[in-house]
Amino acid sequence: MRRLWPWSSRAEDHLEAWIAKRHQERVLAGESNPTGPCPDEAFLRGLARRSKAIDIADPRVDHAASCPACMSRLLILRSEYHSQQRKMQVAFAGAACLILIASLIVVPRFMRHSQPAIATTAVISKTVNLWDVGTVRGQQPAPLQSVLLPAARVRLTIILPRFSQTGQYLVAVTRNQSGTGVVAEGTATSVLKGGKEVVSVELNLAGAKAGAYFLATTHEQNQAAYYYPLQIR
Ligand SMILES: [Zn+2]
């Protein structure tokens, strides 16, 4: 409802509060004549929290407003109700504060974690052909001059050397030929494609610095590891 004199609303509120206070004082001093019996605690409690279930025309409202015993009980219940509400507000504010703090901690972490993922969502497919590598007994494996992998997530398909066994392979990119300094690794079972054993793994090289590495393939049953020179650009 629109007030005609908005400037007077505060003054009106003050006046009402003053009248209510004067009335309270008079009632508590026993200067009023309550009619009817005292209502029960549940009714006073409802009145204290201005429950919508209570009809203002109920004669018990009139009684409570003019009975010193009901009025003092009402004032206690009202302050209890208000302090409960304050506690709830504090608890709510506390919970909101915790949520805010948590989001301040979690969100940047999530962003930190998700950003590299977003930057490297694209998986680059690469194929390394080792078919003709080290086929002659006693011969050093031929340098893999063509193996150049990007510093990104790579779906690496390796055509394993001739006579390679079928089975599960551990494919790793390592810093040295002893198998230590693993940059990325993946496991997959080889499949026969056109008479050649082929293994395909996803390697996350997004964090790798450009330089010389080794591509290691280890057959999980016989633990034979082979290292091939590799460049990450
Ligand atoms: Zn009463």
- Say if residue 143 is in the same domain as residue 87: no
Instruction: Say if residues 173 and 159 touch (Cβ distance below 8 Å).
Output: no
Is residue 88 one of the residues assigned to a domain? Answer: yes
Is residue 3 one of the residues assigned to a domain? Answer: no
Q: What confidence category does residue 201 fall into, taking pLDDT thresholds of 50, 70 and 90?
A: very high
- Say if residue 56 is in the same domain as residue 131: no
Helix axes 9-28, 59-66, angle to 10 degrees: 70
Q: How far is the CA of 81 from the centre of ligand 1 (A)?
A: 20
- Say if residue 114 is in the same domain as residue 128: no
- Say if residue 65 is in the same domain as residue 147: no
What are the DSSP E strand ranges found in 96-232?
A: 124-129, 148-149, 153-159, 168-174, 182-189, 191-193, 196-204, 211-219, 225-232
Q: How far is the CA of 15 from the centre of ligand 1 (A)?
A: 26
Q: How large is the average pLDDT for residues 72-76?
A: 93
Q: Give me the CATH number covering residue 201.
A: 2.60.40
Q: How far is the CA of 130 from the centre of ligand 1 (A)?
A: 98
Is residue 1 one of the residues assigned to a domain? Answer: no
- Say if residue 104 is in the same domain as residue 84: yes
- Say if residue 108 is in the same domain as residue 139: no
- What pLDDT shows up at residue 100? 83
Is residue 66 one of the residues assigned to a domain? Answer: yes
Q: How far is the CA of 51 from the centre of ligand 1 (A)?
A: 19
Q: How far is the CA of 28 from the centre of ligand 1 (A)?
A: 11
Each residue of 112-140: pLDDT tens digit? 666 555 555 688 999 888 888 765 455 55
Structural domain boundaries enclosing 84:
11-118
- Say if residue 36 is in the same domain as residue 105: yes
Is residue 6 one of the residues assigned to a domain? Answer: no
Q: What confidence category does residue 2 fall into, taking pLDDT thresholds of 50, 70 and 90?
A: very low
Helix (H) or strand (E) holding 69: helix 68-119
Q: Which of 164, 181, 175 is nearest to 217 (CA)?
A: 164
- Say if residue 107 is in the same domain as residue 134: no
Is residue 24 one of the residues assigned to a domain? Answer: yes
Phi, psi for 213 (deg, rounded to 5): -135, -175
- Say if residue 36 is in the same domain as residue 88: yes
Longest dimension (CA), the chain: 118
Q: How far is the CA of 43 from the centre of ligand 1 (A)?
A: 11
Q: How far is the CA of 172 from the centre of ligand 1 (A)?
A: 86
Last residue of a domain, one of 118, 140, 174: 118
- What pLDDT shows up at residue 3? 47
- Say if residue 60 is in the same domain as residue 160: no
Q: How far is the CA of 79 from the centre of ligand 1 (A)?
A: 18
- What pLDDT shows up at residue 163? 85
Count of domains forming the chain: 2
- What pLDDT shows up at residue 111? 73
- Say if residue 89 is in the same domain as residue 151: no
Is residue 2 one of the residues assigned to a domain? Answer: no
Q: Which residue has the higher pLDDT, 217 or 4?
A: 217
- Say if residue 223 is in the same domain as residue 135: yes
